[in-house]
Amino acid sequence: GTAIDLAEKASNQGMIIHTVGVGTETGSLIPIIEKDESREYKRDRQGILVTSVLNEGLLRDIAYAGNGVFVRFDNRAASHREIMTAIDTMEKRTIQSHVYAEFEDRYQTFAFLSFLFLGVSMILPTRKKEESTWRGRIV
Rounded to two decimals, the pTM is 0.56
> 138 pLDDT band (50/70/90 cuts)?
low
pLDDT tens-digit profile of 89-100?
887 777 677 787
Query: Which sequence spans correspond to the domains of the chain?
Result: 2-88
Amino acid 23: pLDDT: 83
Amino acid 12: pLDDT: 93
DSSP annotation string for the chain? -HHHHHHHHHHHTT----EEEES-SS-EE-EEE-TTS-EEE-B-TTSPBPEE---HHHHHHHHHHTT--EEEE-S-THHHHHHHHHHHTSPP--S------------HHHHHHHHHHHHHHHHS-SSPPPPPPP--S--
CATH top-level class for 2-88? Answer: alpha beta
pLDDT tens-digit profile of 59-118?
999 999 999 999 988 777 777 888 888 888 887 777 677 787 777 778 888 899 999 999
pLDDT at 1 over 70: no
